[in-house]
Amino acid sequence: MSNIVNQQSLADFIWDVADLLRGDFKRSEFGRIILPFTVLRRLECVLEPTRAAVRNQYKARKDSGVDLDLLLPGTAKAAFYNISEFSLANVGSTSTRANLEDYIAKFSPSA
């Protein structure tokens, strides 16, 4: 019985937090907002260990004529990469829409 009560109280807590985060969004809009950001966050987590190396490699090679789509995945140690100066942590500091569009646009085509 105690396990069921704990699970229910945890579920209630999660839904309370979701309602708080949802803010002005309607319940039907919640999935269209949360899912894309969940995917972006997952991609960001995969790339985080090599993020600085990828950006440094990009800056060093962007004018060399080398096909960066062949070079940067190896540096990223993933099938995709991102060369944006932004991350989800700082995309909202100023000009949120422009920053978010830059962040998304600078994922490699394979992402």
Do 79 and 73 meet the contact criterion of CB atoms below 8 Å apart?
A: yes
Domain extents in the chain: 25-105
Q: Which of 14-18, 27-31, 87-91 has the lowest mean pLDDT?
A: 27-31
* Full-model pTM: 0.72
pLDDT in tens, 77-87: 999 999 999 99
pLDDT band for position 6 (50/70/90)?
A: confident
Do 72 and 54 meet the contact criterion of CB atoms below 8 Å apart?
A: yes
Helix (H, G, I), strand (E, B) or coil at 107: strand
pLDDT in tens, 34-58: 788 889 999 999 999 999 999 999 9
